[in-house]
Amino acid sequence: MIESLHHLPPAAGTHGALSERFTDLAPALTARQAAIESARCLYCYDAPCTRACPTGIDVASFIRNIHEGNVEGAAVNILKQNIFGGSCSRVCPTEILCEDACVRNDDAEGQPVKIGLLQRHAIDNAHFADHPFRRAPSTGRTIAVVGAGPAGLSCAHRLALLGHDVVVFEARDKAGGLNEYGIAKYKLPGDFAQREVDFLLSIGGIEIQYGRILGSNLHLQDLHTRYDAVFLGLGLGASRRLGLTGEDAPGLAAAVDYIATLRQAADLAALPVPKRAVVIGAGNTAVDMAVQIGRLGAEDVTLVYRRGVEAMSATGHEIEIAKTNGVRIRTWAAPHEILLDAAGRVRGMRFEETRLEDCRLAGTGAFIDIAADAVFKAIGQHMDGDALSDLLARELEREADKIHVDARFRTKLPGVYAGGDCVAPGQDLTVQAVQHGKLAALAIHDDILSKAEA
């Protein structure tokens, strides 16, 4: 996946020493800290934090459980709305969701209740003898789910809970999607993502088939014929291109490919690491890439974006993480030319300075060169065109490169549903993908029951 970087030297240091740089971003709350923090919650009626949560977790209720010493009850409260409550407590942008809505987040206090850390405390410290949820009696129906990411697995878990059998088709050799392959290692360290998947699957009734690629050895037409319903949780697997000459030169790679390799690496010391790195992008993936390459040993890391900081899709919290980790942020600069050395390898990037003219981005004609041994693209992803290449899949209504769905995640094709990053509209958030999968499962269940009654 990162063959273009193999000419770079490996990371300096041992695997053990490097691993110490990828422990949890924020330390967990102690039991005493959790008790004190939970006491700050006002347990609001019609709590704004709950309304701000995409998955509808009853925040005030689970915090009250923690305050009363009922950690297992708090965890169940979270998981019944969000089966990925553990990973979401670590990666969810709470600073713009529940914590931003917290009534404590006012001018007088300016410090919301630490909802994310309390959620993590509940999930990490709950000990269940068995899966906390029981499956309903079998419906005798089997649903196909394509994609074992947060959307697909959330859908599968809810369907299993409702009594259906589920077969999940996953292209890679591990389940988890972005949680396993795409989140910064310091946000979901160790094997947390896989332990969460194992917990989810322990409800029973879910089979996962690996190495099954839609459009290659798996086709929507066949799934539509064989199963009672199909849910597409495809994600966005293909990286966008810069559209510049030399884009395939050694030294240029997609950020998501490097992050995936980093997360799966058995030996961090074997990873290729540039001395100087440029990351192009403005989202959380760009920040994740910039911070991680710095922690691996890159001495000079620059994140470049064509607009201003206020237009960056990365949250203010993420931008501060970048700055704290020594990442230099250069705005108002658009990629113009990939600079190559005599051997045809990346030696830097030329950017054209930009500005707004009548609310439209325009080049100024002035250029800046930034030296780099590697350039990482984090400019967004799109759906792999081959995935929806069979005759039936071509009938799906599209919005740009995403699948159009109605309010209940039904596509144009009867019996076919979709959710997560592959549908429009979407915010490309794990917590939103989880909610899509859950709501789609409820729609599938209702539609199957309606057919049975008819």
| CA 210, 216, 217, 220 torsion-angle sign | positive
23-125 fold: Fumarate Reductase Iron-sulfur Protein; Chain B, domain 2 (1.10.1060)
Q: So what's the pLDDT on residue 427?
A: 67
- Sign of the CA dihedral with 315 first, then 320, 326, and 329 last: positive
Q: Is the dihedral of CA 37, 40, 45, 50 positive or negative?
A: negative
Give me the residue spans of the domains in the chain.
Answer: 23-125, 142-237+383-453, 239-380
User: How do residues 310-347 score in pLDDT, each as one tens digit?
Assistant: 999 999 999 999 999 999 999 999 999 999 999 999 99
Terminal Cα-to-Cα distance of the chain (whole angstroms) = 50
CATH number 3.40.50.11540 given to 239-380: no
How much of the chain, in percent, has pLDDT values that exceed 70?
99
Superfamily of 142-237+383-453 according to CATH: FAD/NAD(P)-binding domain (3.50.50.60)
Q: Give the integer Cα–Cα distance in Å for 73 and 66.
A: 8
Q: At what angle do helices 284-295 and 255-264 cross, to 10 degrees?
A: 50
pLDDT band at 399 (very low <50, low <70, confident <90, very high): confident
**C-alpha–C-alpha distance, residues 417 and 408, integer Å:** 8
- For the segment 280-308, the average pLDDT, to the nearest whole number, is 97
**pLDDT tens-digit map of 12-67:** 999 999 999 999 988 999 999 999 999 999 999 889 999 999 999 999 999 999 99
Full-model pTM: 0.94
Q: Which of 339, 179, 380, 349 is nearest to 260 (CA)?
A: 179
Residues 6+ apart with CB under 8 A from 349: 278, 280, 304, 335, 337, 338, 339, 369, 370, 372, 375
Q: Are strands 229-232 and 142-146 parallel, antiparallel or unpaired?
A: parallel
Q: Would you place residue 386 in the very low, low, confident or very high pLDDT band (cuts 50, 70, 90)? A: confident
The DSSP-derived string for 264-327 is: H-S-GGGSB--SEEEEEESSHHHHHHHHHHHHTT-SEEEEE-SS-GGG-SS-HHHHHHHHHTT-
Q: What is the mean pLDDT of residues 257-275?
A: 97
Q: Assess whether pLDDT exceeds 70 at residue 309.
A: yes
CB 66 within 8 A of CB 34: yes
| Residues near 45 by beta carbon (within 8 Å), at least 6 away in sequence | none
Q: What are phi and psi of 24, to 5 degrees?
A: -50, 135
Residue 289: per-residue pLDDT: 98
* 239-380 shares the fold of 142-237+383-453: yes
| Reported confidence tier of residue 306, pLDDT bands at 50, 70, 90 | very high
CA dist 429 and 13 (Å) reads 34
Tell me the pLDDT tens digit for each residue of 137-168.
999 999 999 999 999 999 999 999 999 999 99
